[in-house]
């Protein structure tokens, strides 16, 4: 069957996929927490998550998303563990989230951590975005030389992209820092706390998070344009849900209508 013989709704869906350009990236989405109704993986891959404590849902969300809920972590007793999984171990990946960090909570308030200090991301006590690098060389915190401070009283989109050689930091869609790193990932991922024992003042995340996503960049890495798009529109706008034929169709129909108006 030739493509122009397809029924209109199918054509619209095909056009939507092609024009929205998201089908390839849907395949590379390894893990996605949208914090709408719970703290489970919404990527479709069914990665196992375990909630500790009682993180809550907040109606405060990034302007880029505009509605729904975010996850609220208390800094001491609440976090979400994602069990070790090959889908979050690739050498090339992008991990991203919106955060509203609020007041600092310890030296390196962890947005995320991995078992064995494989890779931690945080905000320092002086409000600088920081990460504990992947692998053994050069291992340690990277923050003091970067002076990448964010306004912790509001929402910011933070993306960490690693191509196997460099870790790059994007803030609100702009590349702000690059650091050579080596090493690999294999352990569990923790969202909202340091991977070791936590307690009062022990560097957990005190604030709000929304649209946490992990992309496997092995075959189709996110571009700077992709990252900026998500920072401005959220993950769901970048990757329509596979089951949302209506949304995909609407995207395609919208594009067709725009074409006809020209």
Window 200-229: residues binding Ca ion (CB under 5 A): 210
Residue with smaller CB distance to Ca ion, 35 or 108: 35
Residue with smaller CB distance to Ca ion, 35 or 160: 35
Min. distance of Cβ 99 from Ca ion in angstroms?
A: 12
Residue with smaller CB distance to Ca ion, 68 or 183: 68
Cβ neighbours of residue 189 under 8 Å, at least 6 residues apart? 31, 81, 82, 88, 112, 113, 114, 214
Window 169-198: residues binding Ca ion (CB under 5 A): none
Residue with smaller CB distance to Ca ion, 236 or 251: 236
Min. distance of Cβ 176 from Ca ion in angstroms?
A: 24
Min. distance of Cβ 234 from Ca ion in angstroms?
A: 8
Min. distance of Cβ 227 from Ca ion in angstroms?
A: 18
Window 20-59: residues binding Ca ion (CB under 5 A): 34-35
Q: Total binding residues for Ca ion by CB under 5 A?
A: 4
Residue with smaller CB distance to Ca ion, 68 or 173: 68
Min. distance of Cβ 70 from Ca ion in angstroms?
A: 5
User: Should residue 164 be labelled a site residue for Ca ion when binding is judged by CB under 5 A?
Assistant: no
Residue with smaller CB distance to Ca ion, 109 or 210: 210
Residue with smaller CB distance to Ca ion, 35 or 229: 35
Site track 61-80 with Ca ion (rule: CB under 5 A), x = hit: -------x------------
Cβ neighbours of residue 236 under 8 Å, at least 6 residues apart? 34, 65, 211
Min. distance of Cβ 100 from Ca ion in angstroms?
A: 12
Which 3-state string (H, E, C) describes the chain? Answer: CCHHHCCHHHHHHHHHHHHHCCHHHHHHEEEEECCCCCCCCCCCCCCCEEEECCCEEECCCCCCCCCCCEEEEECCCCEEEECCCHHHCCCEEEEEEEEECCCCCCCEEEEEEEHHHCCEEEEECCCEEEEECCCCCCCCEECCCCCCECCCCCCEEEEEEEECCEEEEEECCEEEEEEECCCCCCCCEEECCCCCCCCCCCCCCEEEEEEEEEEECCCCCCCHHHHHHHHHHCHHHHCCCCCCHHHHHHHHHHHHHHHHHC
Min. distance of Cβ 97 from Ca ion in angstroms?
A: 11
By the criterion CB under 5 A, which residues form the site for Ca ion? 34-35, 68, 210
């Amino acid at each position: 069957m030739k493509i122009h013989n397809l029924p209109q709704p199918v054509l619209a869906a095909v056009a939507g996929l092609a024009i929205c350009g998201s089908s390839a990236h849907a395949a590379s989405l390894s893990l996605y927490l949208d914090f709408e109704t719970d703290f489970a993986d919404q990527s479709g891959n069914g990665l196992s998550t375990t909630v500790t404590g009682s993180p809550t849902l907040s109606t405060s969300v990034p302007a880029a998303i505009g509605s729904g809920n975010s996850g609220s972590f208390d800094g001491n007793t609440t976090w979400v563990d994602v069990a070790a999984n090959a889908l979050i171990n690739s050498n090339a990946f992008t991990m991203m989230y919106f955060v509203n960090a609020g007041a600092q909570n310890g030296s390196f308030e962890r947005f995320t951590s991995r078992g064995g200090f494989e890779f931690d991301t945080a905000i320092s006590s002086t409000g600088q975005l920081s990460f504990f690098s992947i692998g053994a060389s050069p291992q340690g915190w990277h923050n003091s030389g970067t002076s990448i401070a964010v306004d912790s009283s509001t929402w910011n989109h933070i993306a960490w992209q690693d191509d196997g050689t460099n870790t790059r930091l994007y803030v609100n869609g702009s590349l702000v820092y690059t650091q050579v790193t080596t090493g690999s990932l294999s352990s569990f991922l923790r969202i909202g706390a340091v991977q070791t024992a936590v307690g009062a003042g022990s560097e957990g995340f005190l604030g709000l998070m929304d649209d946490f996503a992990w992309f496997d960049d092995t075959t189709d890495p996110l571009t700077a344009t992709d990252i900026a798009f998500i920072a401005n529109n959220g993950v769901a706008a970048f990757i329509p849900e596979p089951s949302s034929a209506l949304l995909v169709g609407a995207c395609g129909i919208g594009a067709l209508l725009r074409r006809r108006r020209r």
